[in-house]
Structure 1
Amino acid sequence: MPPKQTERHEKPYMTWLKLALGALIPLAIAIGTVVITVQQQHNEDRRFQQTQDNENLRREQDQQQADNLHYQNVYSHYILDISNSILKQQSQTTTFVDNRSRLDYIRSQTLTTLVDLDCQRKTWLFEFLYENKLLPSHRQSISMNLQGTDLSCITLKSTISKNFIFNGLVLSSVDLNDASFIKCHFLDCADFSDSSMEHISLIESSFHCFHGTNLFERAILSHANFYRVFLYNASFNEADLTYANFTSTVFGRKIVLTGADLAFTTFKDVILEDSFSMIITNANMTGASFLEDKSLTKAMSQGLIEIMNVILPNGTWLLNETRNWIKNGNTETNCTSLDIPDWQEISSSPDRMLPTLSIIHLNESVKSSLGSCSFNFTAAATDTRVSMAQWIPFGDISKFIQSSEAECHLSFDTKCQGGVIQVHLYSFTSSPNFPEPSVFLIDGTDQLYWQKRTISEKIRFDTGTVEVSIERSNHTGLCYIDNIEFYVRRSE
């Protein structure tokens, strides 16, 4: 290519290059300006945030100081007031009518003060009551009632210089959540019934009771720590012990866990005294490490632990499914009498009557299954209702009912000519309302012969009692019922 032509081709490139270089300078300046501005804004935001944090910290410190001053004033006023009450009583210049009224006054002041204190001053107040022998005890003829008090998060720990010994302490229906009693000694049977004690720590404390029982009945002890605790005669009836820790716990004499919830409770390196025995009935042991502890499994093999009607750690049911919950369902109790034991009238209405008892006259093979008597539901008139009812309480197997996996099986033998048998199942709960029944209708037959009838139904989780009522009405044909049975089983 000739030189002049090459020069003409190079000039546009140089022009564009110069333009690009000329644009880069203001672009770089703009970028630099933006970066500097962003950095300055970031620094400004950091300074503002730091100022805010310092201000918030100052406010928190001021609020904490104000709270501490308030707590201290409330506590000091309480101590002065109660001390004056004690001194007045001792100097016999009291304005109280008697010791009962004085203790009632101290109780009212204690209840109102505790809700306005922090954990540290709650502990000081409890120690004040302890030192002045104002804590309730079943050993005293008259003592202060602390039911309903807020003692959550108090912390007491025995040391070489100060040893906490409680004699017959009664702290029932008290809030002891997150409280700690470390290396404390409870003598002459303590009572913590109905108290809320979630996450309580009882590490290395001891509970002695030689003439009675340490009571933790119906207490909420979820996540409670019983590490190296000594328990001698204790009842945990209906207690919530879910996720509780019984590592290295010493069990002595009789330990009762009837109705307890032991789900995911830890039992490890447990120590059993020579006089040990344990009862576990109607309990939920799902996920508990009970069967993994060598001492406990050995005690079971020796018959020292009674386990009945429980949900085992692996979730299986240890339930007597062959138990007939109906009493006198075969009519053989006082068969020749006019009364029908264990059954009641549904109502006292004149158009209702209990069935009578009839002697069965059949061959021996049939008698072996039906017995000697049956319920006679034959009505004298079409407007007469023959009916009877029986109530079945589930208190002994409440943990199975609460699992929502229980079902009932009602069966009976019938020999009815025509008509309809009505079976009503009423599930009573804690609700004050009368329950709607489950109704089952059993038709009679054209000819008289015995046949087995069976009814199955899931049981509501909150059922406490079931009423079974059987009724026949609007028919005068012969009707007999026998072998009424009611079983509770796990639904498939």
Structure 2
Amino acid sequence: MARIRYFRKIIPFKLSKEFLQESTKTIAKKKQRWLTFVKLSLSASVTLMIAVFTIVSYIHQTEIAERNRIQDERLANATHDKDLEIANLTRIQDQIIANITRYHDLEIANLTQIKDWEIALANLVIANETKIQDRQIAEENRNEDRAQQQDLHYETVYATYIEDISTVLYKQPYNYSMFKDNEKKMLYIRRKTLLTLRSIDSERRSQLFVFLHENNLLPDQSSPNTTISLVGADLRHIVIKSPVTGQYQFNSLSLLSLNLMNATFIDCRFTGKTNFTGSIVSNATFSGCTFENIVTMYEAKLVNASFIDCVFKKETQMKDSDLNDAQFIRSSFDKLSLISVNITNGSFIGCTFTDKSEFNRSEMQNISFVDSIFKKDLKLPDHHFDQVSLNYCDFRNVSMENTKFENSSLIYANFSDANLENVYFIKNTFLTNSDFYHSKYSWVHFTETVLVGSRIDLTNVLLSNVILPNGTWSINYDQILKNGDAETNVSLRPENSITGDCSFKCADADEEMCLMERNITLDAFIVFLDDNASNYSISAYFGSDSECAENSTDVLISSSQTTFKKQLQNPYIKSNNGTIQWKSAKLEFKLVTEKKGFFNLRVTFHKNSTSCLIDNIEFRLKQVPNKKPS
């Protein structure tokens, strides 16, 4: 919007002199009145200002006084409250001090009472301990007296025995009058010895044993007429330690059916045949002993027995014995035979086995062969474990050569860091969940064994009829029934059969039937028979150069022990040009109950089957793959 500007027009005019004078007087009067008004106003303003200042000062002073009064009142109230608080705190503190003092006094009184009770109880305990100590001292004195009396009794019995036996042995006139022959003398010494052994302590038993040894009276298989029998003797806790002057040498020692529990033999030498048959040798210890000849332990009890640093130079025979927890440590065996023994939780630690070692029909679960050596000698038989339970056994760091495991169970066995050379695991041996970690192999055979769940490197091993760690089979099918393109290992009747080029034909089938038979055993496949995934099949090629009626020939497999039978028959075959026409037939089945034994496979050419041929008969065992759930 445009702005409008106004201009005042100045019009010039001219005033008269009188008018100017009148105007000047009027202006002077007005000015005088204004000055008078200003003076009056100023005077009134000063007074008003003084009055206002006075009023303001009064009000301000009043406010200051009121504030001071309020402040004084507040200060007085605060002082009063503080005094009350101090008074209350003082009263509470006095009460607390009084309570503490009272509690302290009560505590002192209680402690004093408890101390008095403790002193009284201590005095009572001291009195009781004194009584008990007095009783113990009295009991110890009585026991010592009894021990001295018992020891004196033992010594008297032992001395009497020594004197009596010495008289019998070395006083000839006495012997002539007392004994008619040497047999009666030995019988008398035996009776006296057995009675004395039951009546003395272990220390004197040991001395008596040495006395018998020094007088050549210990049972000697090579000199039965001049030594005594110790059958039924009590030789518990004896300690036989060779002196520094030389080893004790026991010749042909025969310790039959006696008690050697907790006995100890240290640095002794056993020459001739040593026999512990029927004896109790539990918890006994043989340390640093040498057995120069055959050692026999039949039906002996060697529970927790220990053989430490011992040398067995000839055959060691253990049969029907109990060796639970027995320990063989750093010992050597030239020939060891364990038959029907129980050595569960036992150990052969750091031992050496040479010649032939046999472990047959024995329980050896949780046994340890750690750091042991099975030496190889081509001139000698190998080491053999047959029908042995070796579950949870420890073969770590073992050096094993020329060794065979047969019909044995080694479930969870540990062969870690083992050195295996020419070792055979054969004939229904179970190595389920076994461990061969970091083991070295050379010519190791697994035949008819189970390796399910085992940790093993199968790169350099030989496998035949094995269930592998992953559950699959390594099976040699041809071993059941081999088609060798030659008529071998079959029963033929030359008068009514002819053989073609690897096929069979009956020459007289128009007149009578022809038979061929063969017996089959499944023993080599026993590890697969226990597997629910095993199937069997019979197959054959049926042929004809003219015409062969259906079911003119058949292959029958039957069990020699049960009523099991399976039959494979030929299909209809016709050849128009005179050449042989072949047709295959196959039958699959499953054996539920048959685990072992023989089967009979029979090929039959019925009457009127002259033109029928048969070839390539196969009997196979195979693994059925796992079926996935639908």
Scaled to the shorter chain, the TM-score interval is 0.5 to 0.7
**Per-residue deviation, residues 210-232 of structure 1 (Å, max 9, x unmatched):** xxx32122222222222221112
Relative distance call for 1:196 and 1:6 in structure 2 (3 A) is closer
Relative distance call for 1:201 and 1:33 in structure 2 (3 A) is same
2:113 and 2:86 mapped to 1: Cα distance? 42
What is aligned with 1:181?
265
For the 8 Å contact 1:412–1:453, the answer to whether it is kept is: no
Q: How does 1:68-467 map to 2 (within 5 A)?
A: 68-89=151-172, 92-142=175-225, 143-209=227-293, 213-231=294-312, 232-252=314-334, 254-272=335-353, 276-290=355-369, 292-296=370-374, 304-314=382-392, 317=409, 364=515, 368=518, 412-414=561-563, 454=593
1:368 and 1:134 mapped to 2: Cα distance? 66
1:185 and 1:6 mapped to 2: Cα distance? 102
2:152 and 2:231 mapped to 1: Cα distance? 28
Paired-residue identity, %: 24
Q: Which amino acid aligns with 1:230?
A: V
What is aligned with 1:32?
112
2:84 and 2:280 mapped to 1: Cα distance? 103
1:8 and 1:245 mapped to 2: Cα distance? 87
**Per-residue deviation, residues 329-369 of structure 1 (Å, max 9, x unmatched):** xxxxxxxxxxxxxxxxxxxxxxxxxxxxxxxx99747x656
2:375 and 2:345 mapped to 1: Cα distance? 17
1:370 and 1:23 mapped to 2: Cα distance? 103
Relative distance call for 1:112 and 1:411 in structure 2 (3 A) is farther
- The Cα of 1:51 is off from its aligned counterpart by 4.2
For the 8 Å contact 2:308–2:329, the answer to whether it is kept is: yes
Relative distance call for 1:140 and 1:29 in structure 2 (3 A) is same
- The Cα of 1:320 is off from its aligned counterpart by 5.5
- The Cα of 1:45 is off from its aligned counterpart by 1.1
1:277 and 1:369 mapped to 2: Cα distance? 35
Relative distance call for 1:20 and 1:121 in structure 2 (3 A) is same
For the 8 Å contact 2:260–2:280, the answer to whether it is kept is: yes
- The Cα of 1:162 is off from its aligned counterpart by 4.6
1:29 and 1:215 mapped to 2: Cα distance? 81
2:389 and 2:173 mapped to 1: Cα distance? 56
SS of corresponding position for 1:150: coil
For the 8 Å contact 1:194–1:219, the answer to whether it is kept is: yes
- The Cα of 1:78 is off from its aligned counterpart by 2.0
- The Cα of 1:133 is off from its aligned counterpart by 1.5
Q: Which has the larger Rg?
A: 2
- The Cα of 1:277 is off from its aligned counterpart by 1.6
For the 8 Å contact 2:358–2:384, the answer to whether it is kept is: yes
SS of corresponding position for 1:173: coil
Q: Which amino acid aligns with 1:258?
A: I
RMSD between superposed Cα atoms in Å:
3.8
Relative distance call for 1:141 and 1:294 in structure 2 (3 A) is closer
With normalisation by structure 2, the TM-score equals 0.47
Relative distance call for 1:12 and 1:244 in structure 2 (3 A) is closer
- The Cα of 1:66 is off from its aligned counterpart by 2.8
2:107 and 2:513 mapped to 1: Cα distance? 115
Q: Which amino acid aligns with 1:227?
A: I
1:362 and 1:170 mapped to 2: Cα distance? 70
Q: Which amino acid aligns with 2:385?
A: I
For the 8 Å contact 1:183–1:205, the answer to whether it is kept is: yes
For the 8 Å contact 1:88–1:94, the answer to whether it is kept is: no
Q: Which amino acid aligns with 2:111?
A: I
SS of corresponding position for 2:319: coil
- The Cα of 1:300 is off from its aligned counterpart by 11
Relative distance call for 1:93 and 1:150 in structure 2 (3 A) is same
1:29 and 1:411 mapped to 2: Cα distance? 102
**Structure 1: which 4+ aligned runs deviate by more than 6 Å?**
2-13, 299-302
Structure with larger RCO (C-alpha < 8 A, sep 6+): 1
For the 8 Å contact 1:196–1:221, the answer to whether it is kept is: yes
1:6 and 1:453 mapped to 2: Cα distance? 104
Q: How does 1:21-60 map to 2 (within 5 A)?
A: 21=101, 24-25=104-105, 28-60=108-140
Q: Which amino acid aligns with 1:45?
A: V
Q: Which amino acid aligns with 2:281?
A: M
1:300 and 1:50 mapped to 2: Cα distance? 77
Question: Which sections of structure 2, spanning at least 5 residues, go unmatched?
Answer: 1-79, 394-407, 411-425, 430-511, 522-558, 565-590, 596-630
What is aligned with 2:605?
none
Q: Which amino acid aligns with 1:245?
A: Q
2:190 and 2:135 mapped to 1: Cα distance? 42
Relative distance call for 1:10 and 1:226 in structure 2 (3 A) is closer
Q: Which amino acid aligns with 1:413?
A: T
2:357 and 2:220 mapped to 1: Cα distance? 27
1:188 and 1:4 mapped to 2: Cα distance? 114
Q: Which amino acid aligns with 1:285?
A: M
Relative distance call for 1:18 and 1:82 in structure 2 (3 A) is same
**Number of aligned residue pairs:** 339
1:90 and 1:278 mapped to 2: Cα distance? 54
SS of corresponding position for 2:367: coil
SS of corresponding position for 2:149: helix
For the 8 Å contact 1:411–1:455, the answer to whether it is kept is: no
2:200 and 2:90 mapped to 1: Cα distance? 90
Relative distance call for 1:5 and 1:233 in structure 2 (3 A) is closer
2:179 and 2:244 mapped to 1: Cα distance? 39
1:234 and 1:93 mapped to 2: Cα distance? 42
For the 8 Å contact 2:356–2:380, the answer to whether it is kept is: no
SS of corresponding position for 2:240: strand
For the 8 Å contact 1:226–1:245, the answer to whether it is kept is: yes
SS of corresponding position for 2:308: coil
Q: Which amino acid aligns with 1:268?
A: I
**Per-residue deviation, residues 76-106 of structure 1 (Å, max 9, x unmatched):** 2222222232234575444123222222222
- The Cα of 1:13 is off from its aligned counterpart by 8.0
1:312 and 1:93 mapped to 2: Cα distance? 60
1:248 and 1:309 mapped to 2: Cα distance? 26
2:221 and 2:324 mapped to 1: Cα distance? 29
For the 8 Å contact 1:412–1:454, the answer to whether it is kept is: no
For the 8 Å contact 2:353–2:375, the answer to whether it is kept is: no
